[in-house]
Amino acid sequence: MNAAVLPHAPLEPAAVRSIIVGLMLAILLGALDQTIVSVALPRMAEQLHGFDLLAWVVSGYLVASTVATPIYGKLGDLFGRRIMLLSAIALFLIASLGCALAQSMPELVGARVIQGLGGGGLISISQTIIADVVSLRERGRYQGYISGVYAVSSVAGPVVGGLLTHYLSWRWCFWINLVLGPLAFLVSRRALARLPVPGVRRPIDYLGALLLSAGLAALLIAITRVGQGLPWNERPNLALLGSAGVILALFIVWERRAAEPIVPLPLFKIPAVALCCAVLFLAYFNLIAISVLLPLRFQIVAGVGADSAAWRLVPLSLMIPCGAFCAGRVMVKTGRYRPVQMAGAAIVPLALLAIGLVDVHSISLTALAMAAAGLGIGLQFPSSLVAVQNAVPPHNIGVATAATALFRSLGGAIGIAVLSTILLASLHSGAAITGTSEVGGAMLHSILGTAASADAAGDRAIRALAEEAFLRIFLVGAAVALVPFGLTFLVPDSTLSARIKTEPESPPAGAQEGAGLARGRPS
């Protein structure tokens, strides 16, 4: 039997604002740590003597947070959002302490994996809570705030990490969580006290959670290895990809039989859910990849330092929350989400094409193109999320929201892997020009050093080769960004309700699952 959600009176605006503040703090913690360490990695490896595990300081967190996201969504539906969010914050803070105190690279990577398990809950649960307290029509505005904080935290992470590492220590990339985290915990604990909680306990799909975690972990580890420059057909990668395929196939078979599946597969028969998850996947495919690769372009081609390269991301960082805010305001005013989605999806491919074609030395034109990309991506975040929440029954809002977070994370991981592979392959083809036979990340470091010290002719050759490689990346990104534009025409359009969705009296499980999921009509 499905859990009944205890009825609750609509919250006062002051209470809603208090909840939003707590959620924004939680999102800030989870999203910032996805990228905050990227600039500090060389210093970490130098002090901890572990260059061979360097990439996993970032990848370990991303893999763990992605794997944990759908599980938190389901557990939030079962046990209540408040207890799950507070548990995620506590786990995140304990792991942050472990990262700050790490004395070796294996210790740091292990703590980062645990930190990612907490970070996945911070993001997915926070976005779900808005559905419990805000009507669909108003939800776009608040989801815009949350999406803006998430996107800005992801893109601004390298800037913050660089400043902390330069002026304090790389360990402050983690100590800062112990400053912000307790505040997020206390604010969330108090603000979320009035959230609805499940009135019926249901069984937990432990086997489904195990299969999903193992399958996604194998897939993401393989993708990450490819993105680090290792051949996709290397034996360990083939073994990981094969294992991922078998385990995820078993997961699908099991979920069709489970009494209380961790991911109800009928959700993806709802057109709005499937299409909007695809839109978010492709939006993050480009966002995370360009936020990581653009600083490299500025350093190799424009010849600026790491700190200046990070600051040049500011137009992208600022326009994402602007886009999310505008999307929320338009949805509140019109009660519709698809026109906002379509506008954002139309802007992004043009902006990425402009980024690739504009001379990187033209700071103003590059900033304008990056701002346009940020605006387009920002418009897609809250509109896609609200469309999903609008399409599912109330008792599945948590797992549906977690599904959007899962596809965002997968898009980011796969985007980095695919575009990094294209970049590395393009640079490796010009090994005679770059003067290095190395591959992967080591080749990028060598090229950065060569570009800084080469004579005038060699310097021009390296920069020309790199610019051609980066142009290829942005052309691929623009082509990928055309797909969401086509998908938005297929997303069902509807008018958002001004009421908060609430769970009806508990009907028989089969009746509600069959009627609510198969029908898939927005309320």
- Residue 424 has which token pair? 């590395």
Among 262-276, 368-382, 383-397, 435-449, name the one with the lowest average pLDDT.
Answer: 435-449
Which of these, 450, 23, 494, 100, lies nearest to 276 by C-alpha position? 494
**pLDDT tens across 173-221, in order?**
889 888 888 888 888 888 777 776 665 566 777 788 788 878 877 887 8
pLDDT band at 513 (very low <50, low <70, confident <90, very high): very low
Give me the residues paired with residue 198 across strands. 5
Against a cut of 0.75, is the pTM above it?
Answer: no
Which of these, 269, 240, 255, lies nearest to 210 by C-alpha position? 255
Tell which wins on pLDDT, 363 or 455: 363
Say if residue 261's pLDDT is above 60: yes
What is the distance, to the nearest Å, from the Cα of residue 225 to the centroid of all Cα atoms in its chain?
A: 19
116 and 61 Cβ atoms separated by less than 8 Å:
yes
Which of these, 29, 119, 27, 111, lies nearest to 68 by C-alpha position? 119
3-state secondary structure of 221: helix
Q: Which amino acid is at 193?
A: A
User: In the prediction, which pLDDT does 365 show?
Assistant: 92
DSSP letters for 88-122? HHHHHHHHHHHHHH--SHHHHHHHHHHHHHHHHHH
- Distance from C-alpha of 322 to C-alpha of 283, rounded to nearest angstrom: 16
Read off φ and ψ for residue 5, nearest 5 degrees.
-95, 125
- Residue 157 has which token pair? 């992470």
Which contiguous run of DSSP H or E holds residue 70?
helix 56-79
Say if residue 435's pLDDT is above 70: no
- Distance from C-alpha of 403 to C-alpha of 386, rounded to nearest angstrom: 13
How does the average pLDDT of the chain come out, rounded?
Answer: 77
pLDDT band at 447 (very low <50, low <70, confident <90, very high): low
Say if residue 501's pLDDT is above 60: no
3-state secondary structure of 145: helix
What is the distance, to the nearest Å, from the Cα of residue 461 to the centroid of all Cα atoms in its chain?
A: 36
User: In the prediction, which pLDDT does 353 show?
Assistant: 92
- Residue 469 has which token pair? 């490689």
Q: Is the dihedral of CA 436, 442, 446, 448 positive or negative?
A: positive
